[in-house]
């Protein structure tokens, strides 16, 4: 008896198979995730969202409060993530955050592989994980390689389906909540999760567990910030932002352009899905619902930025996997090779794409840092909050871009830009902040856009009465405070 206890029992054949499967697949998916994210490390910043998050994290680390000291139309999870990384690794580089983005992509691939394997077998599991990673970079580099909100939505949405597929409703609700707390549109995954709950015939207790799993993290996040501010900035305060009146052609062009780019990346996936559409539609109803919910998420707000399209990639990979299992094996090989070729194309784009706006922000930040002290507050009037981060200077206002004060957010080029279209209550707060701690330097980085100071009476009056032009950098105008200011 003692001898039996001392010697570990041999694992069952199924356990051996499971361990061997994952011991081979996990390193392969991790390596592929690293390869597909290589371009993300070749630039200090990829887009203004990364800059916004970096500035937010610095302000929070200095004792600021989300939705008070600094505001954005987003839930708090990703700003907190940046803040935590900065606390551990310093705020001078986004490389540690990019490492987390690699881990997020790898985790998403593993969850999709597990889902596909449970439903369709070992080969399908490997295909789903690999295909997902290959198409995950299929957008412009500034959309696909940035460590922003959508990248951190993806593992949460995959986890929600993974838990729901196993009937773990409280965990599924918590995963939906995490997706929502990364960005509001992440909550769209609730639709396929609810379908799986309905299809499982689970009694009311399942719905209660799902609702409780969702409500608890969201409620805790609201209480950890400011419940009123959380509700306003994540739900009720963005009505003007969600309109595209006056920008219809502009928005339509972006929609068609980014759809076409993603279609190129999915060139290996589209043929099998279309070929087997009839047979897969009923058998994979939850996946089609996930895809449809992602389409709603992409369209929400009528902006159609490229990074919004990342939410399509997990359901697209699973739908392709479901379709390929009905086709000859060579079709799977063709799909993987085609996706790999497209992936190589996008990686090359990411490695060599010029970033003129980043170069502009770097030159502007250098000029700003040269003319101010580290303790000075400054105002950058534009759409590139990364200038604050690159210069190491503190914003004079909680509004890090002109967008929240003019509704230019989302590239509005129509008539709904100006003080009248700002976030409700923003201008009284802005005036109070300018009076309480007037910026030492104001940078007008509008460069002729509709939110330029001549179109914004309050800012124009402030500049005319208290500031004077001292320099120009790449079309941006620098104003220093006059002695009377």
Q: In terms of pTM, does the model score above 0.85? A: yes
Gap between the Cα atoms of 404 and 327, Å rounded: 50
Q: What pLDDT does 452 receive?
A: 95
Backbone angles phi, psi at 467, to 5 degrees: -135, 160
Gap between the Cα atoms of 449 and 434, Å rounded: 23
Q: What pLDDT does 277 receive?
A: 76
pLDDT tens for the chain, 485 residues: list them: 333 333 343 444 555 567 899 999 999 999 999 999 999 999 999 999 999 999 999 999 999 999 999 999 999 999 999 999 999 999 999 999 999 999 999 999 999 999 999 999 999 999 999 999 999 999 999 999 999 999 999 999 999 999 999 999 999 999 999 999 999 999 999 999 999 999 998 778 899 999 999 999 999 999 999 999 999 999 887 665 656 565 677 788 889 999 999 999 999 999 998 887 777 666 789 999 999 999 999 998 788 999 999 999 999 999 999 999 888 999 999 999 999 999 999 999 999 988 888 999 999 999 999 999 999 999 999 999 999 999 999 999 999 999 999 988 765 566 688 999 899 999 999 999 999 989 999 999 999 899 999 999 999 999 999 999 999 999 999 999 998 76
Residues 6 or more apart whose Cβ sits within 8 Å of residue 31: none
Q: Which two tokens stand for residue 27?
A: 């390193």
Cβ atoms of 261 and 429 closer than 8 Å: no
Q: Which two tokens stand for residue 390?
A: 């690159």
User: Which of 238, 20, 227, 247 is closest to 125 using CA atoms?
Assistant: 20
Q: What pLDDT does 2 receive?
A: 33
Residues 6 or more apart whose Cβ sits within 8 Å of residue 372: 378, 391, 393, 440, 441
Give the pairing type, strands 377-381 and 394-395. parallel
Give the Å distances, CA to CA, from 258 to 320, 350, 352. Answer: 20, 16, 20
Can you name the residues that pair with 444 across neighbouring β-strands? 381, 477
């Amino acid at each position: 008896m003692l001898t039996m206890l001392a010697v570990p029992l041999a694992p069952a054949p199924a356990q051996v198979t499971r361990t061997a499967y994952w011991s081979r697949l996990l390193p392969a998916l991790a390596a592929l995730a690293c390869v597909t994210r290589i371009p993300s490390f070749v630039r200090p910043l990829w887009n203004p969202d990364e800059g916004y998050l970096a500035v937010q994290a610095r302000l929070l680390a200095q004792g600021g409060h989300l939705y008070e000291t600094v505001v954005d139309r987003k839930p708090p999870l990703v700003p907190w993530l940046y803040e935590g990384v900065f606390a551990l690794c310093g705020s001078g580089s986004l490389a540690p955050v990019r490492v987390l983005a690699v881990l997020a992509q790898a985790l998403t691939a593993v969850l999709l592989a597990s889902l596909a394997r449970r439903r369709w077998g070992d080969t399908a599991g490997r295909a789903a994980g690999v295909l997902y990673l290959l198409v995950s970079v299929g957008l412009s580099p500034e959309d696909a390689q940035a460590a922003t909100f959508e990248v951190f939505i993806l593992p949460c949405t995959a986890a929600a389906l993974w838990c729901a597929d196993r009937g773990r409703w409280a965990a599924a609700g918590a995963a939906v909540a995490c997706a929502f707390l990364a960005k509001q549109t992440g909550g769209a995954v609730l639709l396929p999760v609810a379908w799986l709950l309905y299809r499982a015939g689970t009694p009311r207790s399942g719905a209660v567990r799902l609702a409780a799993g969702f409500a608890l993290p969201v409620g805790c996040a609201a209480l950890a910030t400011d419940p009123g501010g959380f509700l306003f900035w994540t739900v009720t305060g963005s009505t003007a932002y969600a309109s595209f009146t006056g920008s219809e052609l502009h928005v339509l062009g972006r929609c068609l352009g980014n759809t076409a780019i993603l279609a190129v990346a999915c060139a290996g996936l589209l043929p099998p899905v279309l070929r087997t559409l009839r047979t897969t539609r009923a058998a994979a109803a939850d996946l089609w619902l996930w895809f449809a919910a992602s389409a709603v998420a992409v369209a929400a707000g009528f902006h159609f930025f490229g990074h919004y399209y990342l939410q399509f990639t997990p359901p697209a990979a699973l739908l392709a996997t479901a379709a390929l299992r009905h086709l000859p094996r060579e079709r799977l090989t063709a799909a993987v090779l085609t996706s790999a070729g497209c992936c190589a194309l996008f990686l090359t784009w990411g490695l060599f794409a010029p970033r003129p706006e980043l170069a502009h922000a770097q030159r502007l930040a250098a000029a700003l840092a040269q003319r101010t002290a580290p303790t000075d507050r400054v105002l950058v009037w534009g759409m590139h909050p990364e200038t604050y981060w690159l210069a190491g200077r503190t914003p004079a206002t909680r509004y890090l871009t002109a967008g929240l004060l003019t509704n230019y957010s989302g590239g509005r080029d129509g008539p709904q830009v100006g003080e009248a279209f700002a976030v409700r209550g923003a201008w009284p707060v802005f005036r109070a902040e300018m009076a309480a701690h007037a910026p030492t330097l104001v940078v007008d980085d509008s460069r002729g856009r509709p939110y330029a100071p001549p179109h914004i009476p309050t800012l124009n009056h402030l500049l005319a009465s208290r500031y004077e032009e001292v320099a120009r950098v790449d079309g941006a105008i620098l104003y220093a405070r006059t002695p009377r200011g």
